[in-house]
Amino acid sequence: MHTGTTGPRRPLFLAAGAFGHAVTERLAKAYTGAVVMGVDEGSHPSFWPVSDLLVLVTDHPRPALAEALDSSAYAWGVPWFPIELEPVELRCGPAVAPGAGACHRCFTRRRAQHDRSPLPAEARRRESNEPGAERVTGYAPHHVGMAVALARAAVRDLFGPDAAAGAGESGEAGAEGPRAAAHVRSVNLADGRTARHRVVAVDQCPRCRPARGGEDLSWRIFEPLTDAAPVGS
């Protein structure tokens, strides 16, 4: 399937875990020019090919990888979003569009502030950060289809006709950027409830809401990319 002129032409799908590989395999068939890379053992932005969309699909939250994608997306001016499978929730987003809306770092801060996840925060933190932690990695076949559907909705947020809101005659995104940027979609796997929320950027976030003091601090965006050490899970 070809996504046409409004879709990504060179999407990069990063997969970790059996669920991540199953979802990215399906997504690669839907988008012409897609590249799939396994990141089960970690990765580094220097290994990633030039892309116009970055997507991370994992069978549990991987904060270090998500942070690497978020910082790289802002350094390169490329949109991205994660898809994460938790024991009782499937989440897609936020659909991050650098220069328009909140970043992923703001999402994690807002989530901690207004946590309504069915999985207790401490259990989620332990599962994400402990290398040897036992994790629930099983999934049902229909979870893959749900993740693909959520991913395609996020792509529409970033590349669809509505994403051109505020575009000028040249076709370049205006000051507002994609209208649907920073949206998060989730499915409660216990009761089937779906939700869609928009992330509000944290005031003076150094990544997406830097202070307006007149000094050019854009070089700080590239600082994390100079570390050659692999990014773990």
Dihedral sign for Cα atoms in the order 98, 151, 108, 102 = positive
User: 38 lies in a domain?
Assistant: yes
Instruction: List the structure tokens of 90.
Output: 């499937």
The CATH number given to whatever domain includes residue 21 is 3.40.50.720
Measured CA to CA, the distance from residue 183 to residue 191 in angstroms comes to 22
- pTM (2 d.p.): 0.79
Number of domains in the chain: 1
Going by pLDDT thresholds of 50, 70 and 90, the confidence category of residue 181 is confident
pLDDT of 7: 82
Backbone angles phi, psi at 100, to 5 degrees: -145, 100
Residues 6+ apart with CB under 8 A from 94: 81, 101, 102, 104, 107, 181, 182, 183, 184, 199
Q: What is the pLDDT of residues 124-175, one digit of tens each?
A: 555 555 555 666 678 999 999 999 999 999 999 999 876 555 433 333 433 3
User: 219 lies in a domain?
Assistant: no
Q: How would you class 215 by CB atoms within 10 Å of its CB: exposed for 0-12, middle for 13-18, buried for 19 or more?
A: exposed
User: 173 lies in a domain?
Assistant: no
User: 136 lies in a domain?
Assistant: no
Q: Decide if pLDDT at 112 tops 60.
A: yes
User: 49 lies in a domain?
Assistant: yes
Residue-number span of the structural domain to which 45 is assigned = 11-131+141-166+179-210
Q: What is the pLDDT of residues 184-232, one digit of tens each?
A: 999 999 999 999 999 999 988 999 987 666 555 555 556 555 554 455 5
User: 147 lies in a domain?
Assistant: yes
pLDDT of 142: 96
